[in-house]
Amino acid sequence: MEATTMGLHFSVFFSILSLLLLRSGALPKQHVSLVGDSGMRRDGLRVALEAWNFCNEVGSEAPLMGSPRAADCFDLSEGNHLMHKVDEAKNKMGVGKSFPGLPAEALNNPDLYAVEKELYLGSLCQVAEEQNPWQFWMVMLKNGNFDTMSGLCPQNGKKVGPFAQPGKFPCFGKGCMNQPLLYHNQTSLSGSQMRGAYWGSYNLDANLSSGIGETKNISFFEVVWEKKVGVGSWVFHHKVKTSVKYPWLMLYLRADATKGYSGGYHYDTRGMLKTLPESPNFKVRLSLDVKQGGGPKSQFYLIDIGSCWKNNGKPCDGDVTTDVTRYCEMIINPETQAWCSPTNLNACPPFHITPNDTKIFRNDTANFPYAAYHYYCSPGNAEHLEQPFSLCDPYSNPQAQELVQLLPHPVWGAYGYPSKPGEGWIGDSRTWELDVGGLSSRLYFYQDTGTPPARRIWTSIDAGTEIFISNNEEIAEWTISDFDVVITSP
């Protein structure tokens, strides 16, 4: 056979083979990441920090700390020099200090100033991609104290005045919703190792300026990031500790929307999700190593997704009286019990949907997977709730919220989630590939009767813990690496 004829035959053969493989689905799907820094492997890191009071506002800045927003962003030159985008003077900016683009009404308003500072830091850190520029991974720190006499937090998005509600929320008195002391080691390079850190305390009398030392009777938080140049993923090492004055603290690492409303907010944000994932067509990959759990009250989220849509299914538009934050959280602390049960149906969603789309109602005691749900609560502005129901806390977000909190259970195994208590916990570090899109497409979320289903587009994906009003001083410690969000449809 002549070479030209043989080449033609092979060309035809491979064309037919490729067509058959394509039709059968045997060709590998293209890896399409929805985050800017896919798998946390980019040497030029982008990481920021935001701190909040109880209802995702600022209220007032901590003394000498500036607005509680900071960023550590740099590129790596060919000669392995770190070229930083944000200096410490910018990180320390607070109310009264102007910067490019700051509206006049935000100059002396701590809540508005923090929003604008995040946008400004985002502009300094932004990585230019032709269609989808992106900014940074976000470390989120939140204080769960709520002074009901302060008048700072709305009720389901509606302004309410001071009111007495003793015992329901932790607060040691006036000022308990304060912002933290915040310290920063800008990322540096030693040999081939890059390392940086944020740390601090909500206890304003703490002396942690040189690092975390003796911390008895005080709260603290710390996030350290490390990576070898050109090797593997960044590893983010987290610690958070509660204290008597601050028994409810939250620390997460988030991939947030690069524009628009991230989960829990009502203004423009910056982040890592350059394309927003939509159910059911995405997965989340990450490596998690829990070293200390944070005690029995630690609601450790292997993954927490957040978004916002109205009860009529329409997208949120910033009207906090009708917007609703929606969350789905997988809690992996084996000490967390299911509040949902046959005798406590108000803590269960009205129904459960299986992977083959079978609907099981919560009063079907023979088949409903009660142990798969820690707690479900309905938005406080819903008008057509099915009895019995439990309303979500009306104060801890700027608008009403809806929570679906899951526990490890066999029903979630089909999505790659933990299928039994203890999986993914201390001593069981893993790299997870979670079909978050598939699972979230089948969860119950409230909608008004007769309205078209909302598009479930997720604006925040995070992991970390919420130590929920601990009776003791507790420490949680964990590492996260290899974080990615990938599309699962061609």
Distance CA 309, CA 322 (A): 9
Compute the Cα dihedral for 163, 165, 166, 170 and give only its sign: negative
- For 260, residues 6+ apart whose C-beta sits below 8 A from its C-beta are 268, 269, 459
The tokens describing 352, both together, are: 């459960």
* pLDDT, tens digit only, all 490 positions of the chain: 444 344 434 344 434 444 443 444 444 456 899 999 999 999 999 999 999 999 999 999 999 999 999 999 999 998 899 999 999 999 999 999 999 999 999 999 999 999 999 999 999 999 998 889 999 999 999 999 999 999 999 999 999 999 998 788 999 999 999 999 999 999 999 999 999 999 999 999 999 988 887 788 999 999 999 999 999 999 999 999 999 999 999 999 999 999 998 877 888 999 999 999 999 999 999 999 999 999 999 999 999 999 999 999 999 999 999 999 999 999 999 999 999 999 999 999 999 999 999 999 999 999 999 999 999 999 999 999 999 999 999 999 999 999 999 999 999 999 999 999 999 999 999 999 999 999 999 999 999 999 999 999 999 999 999 999 999 999 999 999 999 999 998 5
The domain segmentation of the chain, as residue ranges, is: 38-487
Residue 68's SS3 state is coil
Helices (H), 278-358: none
pTM: 0.93
In what side-by-side order are the strands of the sheet with 193-201? Answer: 181-190, 193-201, 220-228, 231-241, 475-487, 282-293, 430-434
DSSP 138-153: EEEEEE----TTS--S
Closest CA to 137 of 210, 249, 46, 8: 46
